[in-house]
Structure 1
Amino acid sequence: MKAEIIAVGTELLLGQIVNTNAQFLSQKLAELGVDVYFQTVVGDNAQRLRQAIEIGRGRADLLVFTGGLGPTQDDLTKDVLADYLNRGLIIHEPSMAQIEHLFSSRGIHMVESNRRQALMIEGGEPLENTTGLAVGNGLSADGTLYMLLPGPPKEMKPMMEGAGAAWLRSMLGGEQPLYSRILKFAGIGESTLEAKLLDLIDGQTDPTIAPYAKEGEVSIRVSTKASSEAEADRKIDDTVDKIKERAGEHLYAQEDVPIEVQVIQLLRGSSRKLASAESCSGGLFAELITNVPGSSGEYVGGVVTYTNGMKHHLLSIPMTQLEGEGAPGAISDSTAALMAERVRQISDADFGVSLTGVAGPSESEGKPVGLVYFAIAERGKPTSVHSLHLSGGRSIIRLRAVKAALYRLWLTLRAEETRATED
């Protein structure tokens, strides 16, 4: 079944609010086995809304409306669709009783226009609103299904998950639901990952493979339609195994979580602690780590040593290392190593991670924008230092550098976990 989502509201077109309803509905419809082919946004205008209905009816089996069910004169969805279908509007008495009770219980005079929220299209099925006043509506007319939902997400989401989903299931018959699994990758770009998986992507039928990229991470969504979750898992597992053969060293999770979550979980599993020392990243490493709930059990803390003076006073980095003729400088592999080692020693953590480099906008110490060094110091083991040559603006360089350091730390922890399991 093909669906189109029609979001109604001039405020959406003006950019005053973000259309998060379309994203939520697309996910829920996919879970029910309904393919969303189109999303439309139309303002509070009867003529243009009618045109959107006409277009949608010609290319979709199901039209899902959000918005325009309220009490004001610009809430037009029910009126326009009823007129388009040559049907009347009737009062849904339970909703009317709920509205009247709400106003009377609060001692507030009910404006007559509030009765509009209890209207529904004749011949349709009411969809209960458990968190608001406007009744929803599901109906079938001339081979097309129509579902009308409120605009406010706090009302729309419960209605969709409850009465809306139940009504749709009753109308869909044998449609198989869509099952998906998100695979998360780090330490690899979208184009490089796609090249590794090109034969699978080109030859895909079922399950399907779709890559998605955001800064520092790449996601792959593997999807299939199946009659049960167990059947879907079997199909998806086979595809995931093939993906692992090509890019398993970069696959850090089979759920939609950032890599810092996996780093904390691995630290927790081995009862070890982490500390950080940052320069060019300005505390971003610490921010991402502390965004993980419960990370205080594994992350003891960090320092932002942005200037040479702070590197010297807080981490005891010799000034001869940082400044002067022949000095390696703050932006160097040796300084990165010292930063990681000193913060680990000071905090008595098991791991110390450091970042130092040039985030921009201009070069520093004669070194180019995008040059970053990061180091990982582990108790009882040699310190590893890595260099990056990154592109982009300041914020992008900082984020990419931190994600690269997290990936390298994850690799280290995962390798040690694997060895421990084998032993």
Structure 2
Amino acid sequence: MIGELINVGTEILIGDIVNTNAQYISKELSNIGFSIYYHTTVGDNPNRLKETLENSINRSDVVILTGGLGPTQDDLTKEILAEILGVELVLDQEIYDEITERIYKSGYSQVTQNNYKQAYIPKGASPIPNSNGTAPGILAEMDNKSIILLPGPPREMIPMFEQKVLPYLMKKTDTKFYSNYYKITSIGESAVEDRLLDLIDKQKNPTIATYAKPGEVLIRVTANGESREEVESLLQNYDVVIKERFGQNIYAFEDLSLQEAVGKSLVEKNVTISIAESCTAGQIASRLSEFPGISQSLHSGIVCYSNEAKVRFVGVQQKTLDEYGAVSEEVAREMLQGLYEKNKTDIVVATTGIAGPGGGSEDKPVGTVYIGILYKGQYTVTRHQFRGDRKRIQLWASNEALNKIRKAIV
């Protein structure tokens, strides 16, 4: 089948934005057997956009457009599609409600009329949900051709493509395609790719792709064949190798965030948890709270940033602080002990460190973090050295703590 990409936006034409969507989508389509013959970039001009889309529909089986779905007057992609299809734009009530809820949750007191523009789709088309923004995608079919509209921002487009568009397109090919997923934490994308280079360099079938998100990496292995049995045999060979190379750094075999995986495990195993955070400033508890039903497990989270708070709320001894400093194994251990004595939860977690940019020393440079776990009477405190700015150090520290929770209760 022939696939084609149209990238909509004057900002791309004049070089204000680097177009990474084309590279990503082309690679994904090629992996599932599509031939890509054309890439086109067109500005926010209705006449040129209509001409481009009509030409693309005539010569390709699947046309994917990114951009032009926002609330402003120059976002005209779906209006042009409706004109070509010969249909009107109609209100999708479910999208309307989702937009309203998302905007109010963002702290705005009212929804402007141009935001509701995004709730209208061509009659007969299907919306593609957008969990990271207000502009839904659109899937339409015309004369055995598929036209797919996606938002321009990659953080919105990529999840929509992977969760909805890719499964839809796989059904349109004669060859059977299946994928295995591996979610990795505590290893950066470049290090993940380095461990897979021998497989990537010789890849044909299966193919391997890595996708980085803050603090985690998704490995997707996709194989194709004439039957499911053939494909599963190909995937199994890679499955053994990947599990050997990444071990306990694999925290899920589906596209879950680390906090979702840990929250799910805590709830399913009926494990209660309390957390004392210094340098991570509540991130661990906050991230766990994203998982629905976590109230069954999450007892409490305390941000004890100052020495005074460590003494007052989690029972750290002043003499321990004076002798070893707040960033030390000894203080992390007392944070665990003090919080356990207060709450008696199944697992207790503590973090103390130097997020920067100041406060470091030769012995304890910026990025030094102690992470403690108390589970079933066993104390474990480990020292880590994270790199990056303040936000990155806090992210990596909270990731490492979440992963230690996961490994403790596995």
Identity %: 36
SS of the residue corresponding to residue 281 of structure 1 reads: coil
- Per-residue CA distance 1:127-182 (angstroms, 9 max, x = gap): 823679x9956248xxxx674769899xxx9xxx89xx69x97xx6x533543232
- Per-residue CA distance 1:336-382 (angstroms, 9 max, x = gap): 1111222122111111111101101112577321111111112322x
Q: 1:205 to 1:316 in 2, by over 3 A?
A: same
Which of 130, 138, 151 is the matching residue for 2:142?
138
Match of 1:45 in 2: 45
1:341 equivalenced with 2:337 (yes/no) = yes
Shift of 1:211: 1.9
Q: 1:30 to 1:288 in 2, by over 3 A?
A: farther
Alignment of 1:21-420 (within 5 A): 34=34, 40-45=40-45, 48-49=48-49, 62-65=62-65, 95=87, 128-129=124-125, 138-139=142-143, 147=147, 175-176=174-175, 178-227=177-226, 231-323=230-322, 327-364=323-360, 367-381=364-378, 383-414=379-410
TM score, norm. by length of structure 1: 0.67
**Which has more radius of gyration?**
1
Q: 1:268 to 1:128 in 2, by over 3 A?
A: closer
- Per-residue CA distance 1:211-245 (angstroms, 9 max, x = gap): 22233222211112345656544432332122112
SS of the residue corresponding to residue 197 of structure 1 reads: helix
| Paired amino acid for 2:5 | I
Contact 2:267 2:293 in 1 (8 A): no
Contact 2:67 2:77 in 1 (8 A): yes
Contact 1:33 1:178 in 2 (8 A): no
Contact 2:79 2:89 in 1 (8 A): no
- Per-residue CA distance 1:102-121 (angstroms, 9 max, x = gap): xxxxxxxxxxxxxxx99xxx
Query: How far, CA to CA, are the matches of 1:247 and 1:128 in structure 2?
Result: 46
Match of 1:102 in 2: none
Query: How far, CA to CA, are the matches of 2:89 and 2:397 in structure 1?
Result: 59
Query: How far, CA to CA, are the matches of 1:195 and 1:34 in structure 2?
Result: 28
Q: Out of 355-364 and 25-34, give the one that drifted further.
A: 25-34
Q: Out of 238-247 and 224-233, give the one that drifted further.
A: 224-233
SS of the residue corresponding to residue 44 of structure 1 reads: coil
Match of 2:4 in 1: 4
Shift of 1:393: 0.7
Match of 2:97 in 1: none
Q: 1:344 to 1:228 in 2, by over 3 A?
A: farther
Query: How far, CA to CA, are the matches of 2:27 and 2:48 in structure 1?
Result: 27
Query: How far, CA to CA, are the matches of 1:387 and 1:241 in structure 2?
Result: 31
Contact 1:179 1:226 in 2 (8 A): no
Q: 1:68 to 1:279 in 2, by over 3 A?
A: closer
Query: How far, CA to CA, are the matches of 2:245 and 2:84 in structure 1?
Result: 60
Give ranges in structure 2 of 5+ residues lacking alignment: 92-119, 128-135
SS of the residue corresponding to residue 362 of structure 1 reads: coil
Q: 1:347 to 1:37 in 2, by over 3 A?
A: farther
- Per-residue CA distance 1:6-40 (angstroms, 9 max, x = gap): 2446698899xxx9999998899789864667765
Shift of 1:330: 0.4
Contact 1:127 1:138 in 2 (8 A): no
Query: How far, CA to CA, are the matches of 2:22 and 2:342 in structure 1?
Result: 50
Cα RMSD (Å): 4.9
Contact 2:90 2:123 in 1 (8 A): no
SS of the residue corresponding to residue 373 of structure 1 reads: strand
Shift of 1:313: 0.6
Contact 2:7 2:66 in 1 (8 A): yes
Aligned residues: 358
